Chains A and B, each alone.
Chain A
Amino acid sequence: MLRISQTEYDSIRRHGEETYPHECCGVLLGSSDGQTRAVTKTVRCGNTRSDSPHNRYHISPQELVRVQRQAREAELEIVGFYHSHPDHPARWSQTDLAEAHWIGCSYVITSIERGQANITNSFLLAGELEENKHFEDEAVNVVAEVTAIANESTC
Chain B
Amino acid sequence: MKIYIPTPLRQYAGKKDSVDVHASTVNDALSKLTSTHPDLKRHLYTDDGKLRAFVNLYLNDEDVRYLSEKENTRVKEEDHLSIIPSIAGGQDQSKVLLHPITRWPDHPIIAGVRDSRN
13 contacts between A and B (CB under 8 A): A32-B7, A52-B90, A64-B84, A64-B87, A72-B4, A78-B6, A87-B97, A89-B96, A93-B90, A95-B89, A107-B89, A152-B15, A153-B17
Counting CB contacts under 8 A, is B79 at the interface? no
Chain B residues within 8 Å of A, Cβ to Cβ: 4, 6-8, 10-11, 15-17, 42-43, 52, 54, 56, 58, 61, 63, 82, 84-93, 95-99, 115, 117-118
A64: which B residues are within 8 A, CB to CB?
A: 56, 84, 87
**Which residue of the partner chain A has the closest CB to B5?**
A153
Counting CB contacts under 8 A, is A81 at the interface? yes
Q: Are A65 and B84 in contact (CB under 8 A)?
A: yes
Q: Are A129 and B42 in contact (CB under 8 A)?
A: yes
Given contacts A87-B99, A154-B8, 6 further A-B contacts (CB under 8 A): A61-B58, A89-B96, A96-B89, A96-B90, A99-B90, A101-B54
A49: which B residues are within 8 A, CB to CB?
A: 88, 90
**CB < 8 Å neighbour of B91 from A88, A154, A155:** A88
**Size band of the A side of the interface?**
35 or more
Question: Would you give the shortest CB distance from B42 to chain A, in whole angstroms?
Answer: 7
Point out which of B42, B89, B92, B95 has the most chain A C-beta atoms below 10 A from its C-beta. B89
Question: Would you give the shortest CB distance from A40 to chain B, in whole angstroms?
Answer: 15
Q: Are A118 and B6 in contact (CB under 8 A)?
A: no
Q: Are A155 and B4 in contact (CB under 8 A)?
A: no
B84: which A residues are within 8 A, CB to CB?
A: 61, 64-65, 68
The answer to whether residues A102 and B6 also contact, given A52-B90, A93-B91 and a CB cut-off of 8 A, is yes
Question: Would you give the shortest CB distance from A88 to chain B, in whole angstroms?
Answer: 4
A94: which B residues are within 8 A, CB to CB?
A: 92
Q: Are B52 and A85 in contact (CB under 8 A)?
A: no
Point out which of A72, A88, A98 has the most chain B C-beta atoms below 10 A from its C-beta. A88
Q: Are A101 and B98 in contact (CB under 8 A)?
A: no
Q: Are B89 and A56 in contact (CB under 8 A)?
A: yes
**CB < 8 Å neighbour of A118 from B15, B17, B91, B98:** B98
Question: Would you give the shortest CB distance from B13 to chain A, in whole angstroms?
Answer: 8
Question: Would you give the shortest CB distance from A71 to chain B, in whole angstroms?
Answer: 9
Q: Are B90 and A57 in contact (CB under 8 A)?
A: yes
Q: Are A105 and B89 in contact (CB under 8 A)?
A: no
